[in-house]
Amino acid sequence: MKCPFCACSESKVIDSRPTDEGERIRRRRECIACGKRFTTYEIIETVPVIVVKKDKSREAFDRVKLFNGMLRACEKRPVSIAQIETVVTEIEQELQNSLDREVTSVHIGEMAMEKLKGLDEVAYVRFADEVAYVRFASVYRQFKDINTFMEELAKLLGEK
């Protein structure tokens, strides 16, 4: 960090504290050469996760899209908004913590289906509660015909 007054690269930190939002750290520094004081702010650099879609186009991960998709799948189901929000946050954190900066939309869909399946099965252990999971799967896997849909149902029943 260069001093804004004399361009010396040596300074010492006099005071350090988080900002009101808690997302940055404010540091009060003193230049070793000229003795003048100045303030710097330190922030965490985040690298966005890029989603590679089925048509090979790329866009930044959007948690709102994932949330809205899961909300549609859980419509009229015994799954609260808070549970969906928690699942979306877990998926987002898993993506941020992975070393991959690019992830396919199919992978995100698989993660969402696995979490959604767990939500519904924990709430009620009976076949009817798989509807939200299958509905979500039908969107992300784009079932081409009834046989593909039935194969997914058979896999689901086999796991029980």
Where in the chain are the domains? 11-43, 50-159
Q: Residue 121's closest CA among 73, 156, 82?
A: 156
Give the model's confidence band at 51: pLDDT under 50 very low, under 70 low, under 90 confident, else very high.
very high
Looking at per-residue pLDDT, the higher value among 76 and 103 belongs to 103
Q: Give the separation between CA 66 and CA 62, rounded to whole angstroms.
A: 7
Looking at per-residue pLDDT, the higher value among 134 and 23 belongs to 23
User: How many helices, marked H, and strands, marked E, lie in the chain?
Assistant: 5, 6
